[in-house]
Amino acid sequence: MTKSIVMTEKAPAALGSYSQGVKAGNLIFTSGQLPLNGSGELVAEVEGATRQALDNIKAILEAAGSSLANVVKTVVYLRDINDFAAMNAVYRTYFPHDPPARSALQAGRLPRDAVLEIEAVALAE
């Protein structure tokens, strides 16, 4: 199995020692995506944050030659589990049919005090 690093300027650069994504065999793993927009600003409200984090994941998957349609698993870390319904309302617009498996949990604290972070595993095309 081969491993390659996935990088794109269409998603935020890593804030630490990690890659935006890694392609291993027929799978693509994204690092957790904070809701950082193109200018590096953190989107603070949960609906916009969900859109931004998923748009970042979409950009990484597209850089790897895949798409959101190939996502098989996501993990959503929420600063406040009471934001679940608001996050889920936006999330379902990105995966309207046959959504991937998902875990969602409240995290003690996220980098940059973000309201959420989302990571994904997808099939390579």
Q: For 81-102, how does the pLDDT look when each residue is reduced to its tens digit (9 = 90+)? A: 999 999 999 999 999 999 999 9
Question: Distance between CA 47 and CA 72 in Å, rounded?
Answer: 22
Q: For 41-72, how does the pLDDT look when each residue is reduced to its tens digit (9 = 90+)? A: 999 999 999 999 999 999 999 999 999 999 99
Are the C-beta atoms of 99 and 50 separated by less than 8 Å? no
Question: Distance between CA 40 and CA 86 in Å, rounded?
Answer: 23
Residue 80, token pair as written in the block: 């406040």
* Segment 18-37 mean pLDDT: 97
Are the C-beta atoms of 100 and 72 separated by less than 8 Å? yes
Question: Distance between CA 47 and CA 85 in Å, rounded?
Answer: 10
**Superfamily name and number for 3-123:** RutC-like (3.30.1330.40)
Provide the pLDDT for residue 15: 85
pTM of the model: 0.97
Q: Where are the domains of the chain?
A: 3-123
